[in-house]
Amino acid sequence: MDREVRALIRKMSTSNPTCGAPRIRNELAKIGIFRVLFVLLIVAHDRRRILHFNVTSSPSAQWTAQQVVQAFPNDCVPRYLLRDRDCIYGKYFRHRVKNLGIEEVLTAARSPWQNPYVERLIGSIRRECLDHVIVLNEQHLRRILRSYFHYYHRSRCHLSLEGDAPVPRAVEGPEHGHVIELPEVGGLHHRYVRQAA
């Protein structure tokens, strides 16, 4: 993104201190600067782990099928793939998934509640990350999401996992030292650990 656009974003942010990133993005879109980027997530339900993600400005059935192939290398394909009925999952996608030996389970039309883990994750990504950031391009969005997912897997406490993270965290008692704060996701979030003096 060129210097002029970056300066405009800074000016919009300074001139409108109560506007968050979503409103600034909408303003940029209205003047032909901001474009929509799509994110594909593949999530394992057992511990809410993100197995794979990628970003594109022009999704297709071929691109989506390739993401599934990349998500499951070395013969570690799941038995089932739960998905919605979006048209992005076209004939090419269905054929590729079937060849991998994965059985598709489709949610009912317009029924996001039938896949609550993914819907909750999408909401968390928006509320905890993307609503606070102006995304500059695909590469920038990948970097932001990679950072957020590192935090999400190793640090973020999940109520559905009894207060643990997808990658289990050990309980650190007072004998391990005093509590320190470690910034994550560019300082949007923090992890608290004990460190010996």
How do residues 84-120 score in pLDDT, each as one tens digit?
999 999 999 999 999 999 999 999 998 989 999 999 9
CA torsion sign for 100, 105, 111, 114 is negative
Instruction: Identify the three-state secondary structure at position 7.
Output: helix
Closest CA to 84 of 65, 108, 60: 108
Q: What is the pLDDT of residue 7?
A: 93
Residue 87's Cα: distance from chain center in Å?
Answer: 21
Is there a contact between 71 and 78 (Cβ–Cβ < 8 Å)?
no
Contacts of 83 (CB under 8 A, 6+ apart): 89, 104, 105, 106, 107, 115
For 32, which DSSP code? T
Instruction: Phi first, then psi: give them for residue 6, nearest 5 degrees.
Output: -60, -40
Q: Judge contact between 105 and 79, C-beta under 8 A.
A: no
Residue pair 60/84 in contact by the 8 Å Cβ criterion:
no
How high is the pLDDT of residue 34?
A: 86
What pTM value is reported for the model?
Answer: 0.89
Q: What is the reported pLDDT for 1?
A: 65
pLDDT at 97: 94
| Ranges under pLDDT 70 in the chain | 1
Backbone angles phi, psi at 99, to 5 degrees: -65, -25
